[in-house]
């Protein structure tokens, strides 16, 4: 019988957004609900145009900016309408909280890997408290032995140092570690530069996989893929 010490892979590290949950769909739903609520509160304009404008503002200012909706309302000629801004903020936040859930197969996969004795970790870019909030709301926080987030670490994907710090904290070597992520540049290129195996979680069919060892289209396939890598 095979024991853990003979396995090539000892640790599996995960990205959060887009890997453990469908962040793209969640953001789309949240934006859609926010715009609906703002129109209901009196914002005047074509829904499609308002949505496109909001998407542009979020892309331009980044997701941690605080005044997306103020800018949007101003852009549609209703500057100072705090009631409309607040309607958008409430709908957006409520959606981001109530609709935040792991990919349907995430808990089964993490449970299976944990039972098999793998060290489980998170390597994520973002603000530490915000990323931990997601893990807590996803009810996944307790699965992970190490959680490395760029803000606390001072290094950011694709910097291989972030990956190496996480492996050091987990006391595993790169050749015994797999990174699972959805962003080819950040997750895959970064992990490969750190000497890890890398599994691309690719729902959309990206062209440049940045040297991923294996591509999966859903988390459920991960346990078999790890066996195949070994």
Instruction: Kindly state the smallest distance separating residue 89's Cβ from a copy of itself, in Å.
Output: 6
- Residue among 38 and 193 whose Cβ is closer to a copy of itself: 38
Contacts of 182 (CB under 8 A, 6+ apart): 15, 17, 18, 19, 200, 201, 202, 203
Q: What angle do CA 130, 185, 14 make, to 5 degrees?
A: 50
Strands 119-124 and 146-149: parallel
Instruction: Kindly state the smallest distance separating residue 130's Cβ from a copy of itself, in Å.
Output: 8
Instruction: Kindly state the smallest distance separating residue 129's Cβ from a copy of itself, in Å.
Output: 5
* Residues linked to residue 197 through DSSP beta bridges, in sequence order: 178
Q: CB neighbours (10 Å) of residue 98? A: 12
- Residue among 139 and 228 whose Cβ is closer to a copy of itself: 139
* Residues near a copy of itself (CB under 8 A): 69-70, 80, 82-83, 85-87, 89-90, 94, 97, 128-133, 135-137, 141, 147, 149, 152
- Residue among 135 and 201 whose Cβ is closer to a copy of itself: 135
Instruction: Kindly state the smallest distance separating residue 4's Cβ from a copy of itself, in Å.
Output: 26
Q: How far is the C-alpha of 64 from the C-alpha of 3, rounded, in Å?
A: 44
- Residue among 134 and 192 whose Cβ is closer to a copy of itself: 134
């Amino acid at each position: 019988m095979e024991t853990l010490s003979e396995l090539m892979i000892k640790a599996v590290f995960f990205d959060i957004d887009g890997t453990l949950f469908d962040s793209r769909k969640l953001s789309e739903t949240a934006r859609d609900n926010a715009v609906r609520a703002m129109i209901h509160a009196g914002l005047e304009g074509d829904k499609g145009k308002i949505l496109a404008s909001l998407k542009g503002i979020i892309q331009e200012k980044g997701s941690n900016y605080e005044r997306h909706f103020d800018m949007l309302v101003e852009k549609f000629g209703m500057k100072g309408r705090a009631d409309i801004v607040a309607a958008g903020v409430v709908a957006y936040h409520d959606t981001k909280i109530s609709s935040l859930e792991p990919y349907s197969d995430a808990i089964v996969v993490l449970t299976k890997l944990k039972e098999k004795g793998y060290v489980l970790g998170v390597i994520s870019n973002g603000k530490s408290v915000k990323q931990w909030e997601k893990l807590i709301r996803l009810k996944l926080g307790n699965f992970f032995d190490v959680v490395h987030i760029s803000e606390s670490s001072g290094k950011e994907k694709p910097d291989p140092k972030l990956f190496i710090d996480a492996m050091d904290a987990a006391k595993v070597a790169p050749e015994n570690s797999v990174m699972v992520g959805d962003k080819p540049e950040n997750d895959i290129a970064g992990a490969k530069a750190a000497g890890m195996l890398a599994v691309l979680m690719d729902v959309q069919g990206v062209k440049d996989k940045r040297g991923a060892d294996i591509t999966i289209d859903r988390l459920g396939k991960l346990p078999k893929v790890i066996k195949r890598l070994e």
